[in-house]
Structure 1
Amino acid sequence: MVARSKPNELRITRVYDAPVAAVWDAWTDPDQAAQWWGPRGFTITTHSKDLRPGGSWDYTMHGPDGVDWPNTTLYHEVVEYEKLVYDHGGAADRPPLFRVTVLFSESEGKTTMDMTMTMASPEAAEQIKQHIKDAGGNATWDRLAEHLGMQSTGKECFVINRSFDAPIDVVFDMWTLPEHIVRWLPPTGFVMELLREETRVGGKSFYRMVNEAGVELFGCVEYREIERPDRLVSTQEFCDAEENLSRHPMAPVWPATMLRTVTFTAEGPQSTRVTVVWEPIGHVTPAERAAFVEERSGMTQGWTGSFDKLEALLAAG
């Protein structure tokens, strides 16, 4: 999620599959911002917005616990489709938390968002970094990707990003070598056994997962694209012990077939960002689509637990 150029800065870079005008509008239109701004489970109410140097955006963020958080964003620079500079996190009773500079650039129909948050000190940067992680604030930029995808395709998807302190080839191996996959991919509390693993285009894998409560799950994965070390595309379905298509025992209206696209981006020689995009494919009923959208917070929690395990394995070498 975060790379640094200075000790008192946090930096976030994302590439969105949308033209810069669409990304800019998603940022600056209050109606669109209400669809994605903030961690999962949060909503916002805009009271006023004056998008110009010296103007402000006054809004209230509503937490899932019912707590309201008044916010005032103070704009310093506004260059349409190119740049925003503003103070974030302030309100009538508190000063801003940090200065934000966001640069937007388009290439081949895709937009790079390069954001730098500047704090008063390295210690403040560490505190803000931990606060963002604890509050699930990283999901804000995943929600933006989901919103842009819905705007352009009309399809719902789930997106999650995570940066790891390891070279891209090492991270790619953690996703493709069976001895690594079973150590980190299963949800927290589950143990995974690969009954068959064919990591090749057209290859099919079959796995079993079980937890201490005795909940047993079987699943099938079919690989559609493998481009080392940049991209993995596969489908995933729940099945029974004989590999017949079935449904999750605790989610009977979950979509039958999911498409998972994983991209790997080198953020430096020793840093790799992983982006997971999950979406239902095939025949999807309205009830299944609604269940998928409703479960985004749960998917974030599940992937976060798996990513935490992957991060620990990479740190251990």
Structure 2
Amino acid sequence: MPITTIDKDVDALTLTVVADFPAPVRRLWDAYQDPRQLEKFWGPPSYPATFTRHDAYPGGLTTYYMTGPEGDTHGGYWEWLAIDAPNSFEVLDGFLTDDGEPNLDMPRIRMTFAFEATDAGSRMTTTSHFASRENLEELVAMGMMEGMKEAMGQIDAVIADLEAFAAGRGTDAQILSDTQVRISRVVRGDVEQVWRAHNEPDLLKRWMLGPEGWSMPVCEVASSVGETYRYEWENDADQQRFGFTGELLGAEAPHRMVTTEAMIGNEGTATRNEMTLTPVDGGTLVSMLITYPDAETRDMILATGMTDGMETSYARLEQAVLTA
């Protein structure tokens, strides 16, 4: 059990948890920045968490839900207030309604996470700040302290896994629900470089090509919200073509971009793609949450070898663009 102390201060309206880990600060820090890792310990074992958004930058938003043993779900969110990598971050933590909106009838907590090196590895101090004594007592009565103990008891196993989330692992596809899939890949480059590679036509044409033997003769990028983009690829051997088009719904450079995407000529299978770029040890974590219209469309698209094609392109990005 990594927790060293828990201190409830009803006068200061705080709950402070100190935990020690046999791992470097950076390894512990990255576990909180990567949604794949975070969801392995944020919820207690009986209520595992699934993260559907994780913007680790000031002004960003994190959303997640915990699933209970009876299939019941309970949503939560973080509003990111500050970040000082890899030393500390601060969020406003709250509950979500069944519709995915902030539940203003439930208390919100300002939480600070501070990381420091120790002789044995690293120490994390988590301080929860409550708006009132009633809020503090209400959440403690709901099992907040017990839940934190159970959740943090899972962190050691996550940070000990040096292979599952490392740079060089390749592209992973994780099915989150009937309609959502998360694609993840650590790319060896900084966030600014990876953002430019996704938004500059001259760079896109050099790496977003899939298998060998294809070129990208059409690369029309959407640079402002509301604009449309159009990408077309051509087989160099027989000039066969296919392409995608969509609309830029939102952009927060260099961290987050939201688009629609549909195959040209088959716009009925449009998806919503939310890409988030997060700095981690070894490069930039590219996390793409894809929302499909239904499970059938999800399975049909995954069966095309989409993940393998994305891995080929990301490997080319590292070799032909970021290290060129």
Q: TM-score, normalised by structure 1?
A: 0.52
Equivalent residue, structure 2, for 1:207: 231
Q: Residues 303 and 235 from structure 1, CA distance in 2 versus in 1: closer, same or farther, beyond 3 angstroms?
A: same
Rate the CA distance shift 1:131–1:238 in 2: closer, same or farther, 3 A.
closer
Find 1:81's aligned residue among 134, 147, 151.
Answer: 151
The DSSP-based 3-state class of the residue aligned with 2:275 is: strand
Q: Hey, what does 1:194 align to over in structure 2?
A: 218
- Aligned equivalents of 2:154 and 2:319: distance in 1? 36
Alpha-carbon distance change, 130 to 181 in structure 1, aligned in 2, over 3 angstroms:
same
- How big is the shift at 1:80? 1.4
Match of 1:263 in 2: 276
SS in 2 for 1:308: helix
Structure 1 CA distance for aligned equivalents of residues 205 and 221 of structure 2: 11
- 1:216 corresponds in structure 2 to 241
Identity %: 16
Maintained 8 Å contact 1:195/1:207: yes
The within-5 A match list for 1:32-51 is none
Mapped partners of 1:158, 1:183: distance in 2: 26
Distance 1:130 1:288 in 2: 28
Matched, 1:231 2:239: no
1:167 is the counterpart of 2:190: yes
Matches within 5 A, 1:43-122: 80-84=150-154, 101-102=156-157, 115-117=158-160
* Alpha-carbon spacing, 1:310–1:195, altered in 2? closer, same or farther (3 Å): closer
CA-based RMSD of the aligned residues comes to 4.3
1:185 is aligned, of 208, 216, 222, to 208
Normalised by the size of structure 2, how large is the TM-score?
0.51
CA–CA distance in structure 1, aligned partners of residues 192 and 166 of structure 2 = 30
Return the letter of the residue paired with 1:219.
F
Q: In the alignment, is the contact (CA less than 8 A) between 1:237 and 1:258 conserved in 2?
A: yes
CA distance in 1 between partners of 2:226 and 2:154 (Å): 45
Q: Which residue pairs with 2:284 in the alignment?
A: 272
Unaligned stretches of 5+ in structure 2?
1-22, 50-66, 71-147
> Which residue, out of 271, 295, 300, partners 2:303?
295
Give the counterpart letter for 1:261 in structure 2: E
Q: Secondary structure at the match of 1:311?
A: helix
Amino acid of the structure 2 residue aligned with 1:117: A
User: Residues 131 and 230 of structure 1: is their aligned pair in 2 closer, same or farther, counting only changes over 3 Å?
Assistant: closer
- C-alpha displacement at 1:23, in angstroms? 7.0
Unaligned segments of structure 1, at least 5 residues: 33-77, 86-100, 103-114, 119-124, 240-244, 248-254
SS at match of 1:21: coil
Contact kept in structure 2, 1:166 and 1:314, CA below 8 Å? no
Q: Does 1:21 align with 2:43?
A: yes
> What is the number of residues matched between the two proteins?
204
For the 8 Å contact 1:262–1:274, the answer to whether it is kept is yes
Name the counterpart of 1:307: 314
Matching residue's letter, 2:312:
G
Flag the 1:156–1:272 CA change in 2: closer, same or farther, 3 A.
same
CA distance in 2 between counterparts of 1:178 and 1:229 reads 16
